Amino acid sequence: MKYVIALLLYLTVYKPMVHASGYKGDYDTAQIRAMWMHCTYGLSQRPDYHPGAAVRICDCFMDNLRKRVLLKDWKETPGPERYRIVIEITNQCFIDLMIVPEEDSI
């Protein structure tokens, strides 16, 4: 009985910790995984990138894309604008991760 009271007291006082991630919040897990796998597969096909670098780049890319663009907006973004956003985010990730791509690799 005292454990039930302790649990009820804990649940009434406990406030979950909210992390300020900055993510827009409308990407579901399946969508994030699919986009990340597409990114890593694309980079793994390139001989100028080590697989470990591809994973780090795609982690960075997905984090930044989720902070910058809502999924519903991303789906409605025209191809040329998407390409521009992808290049901007990827270049920023190269800078953040201190990865120097070979000439003409992007």
> What does the domain layout of the chain look like in residue ranges?
24-97
Q: What residue type is assigned to position 16 of the chain?
A: P
Residue type, 46: R
Q: Which residues contact residue 77 at a Cβ distance below 8 angstroms, ignoring those fewer than 6 apart?
A: 69, 85
Q: Which residue has the tokens 């005292």?
A: 2
The pLDDT of residue 103 is 57
Helix 29-44 and helix 51-68, axial crossing angle in degrees, nearest 10: 140
The model's pLDDT over 20-73, given as tens digits with 9 standing for 90+, comes to: 467 767 888 999 999 999 999 988 888 877 778 888 999 999 999 999 999 899
Q: In this predicted structure, what is the pLDDT of residue 24?
A: 66
pLDDT confidence tier of residue 16, bands split at 50, 70 and 90: very low
CA-to-CA distance for 43 and 82, rounded, in angstroms?
Answer: 18
Please determine, for residue 91, whether its predicted confidence score (pLDDT) is greater than 80. yes
Sign of CA dihedral 58, 63, 69, 73: positive
Contacts of 62 (CB under 8 A, 6+ apart): 32, 35, 36, 39
Cα–Cα dist 50/100, whole Å: 12
Give the whole-angstrom CA distance, residue 87 versus residue 73: 17
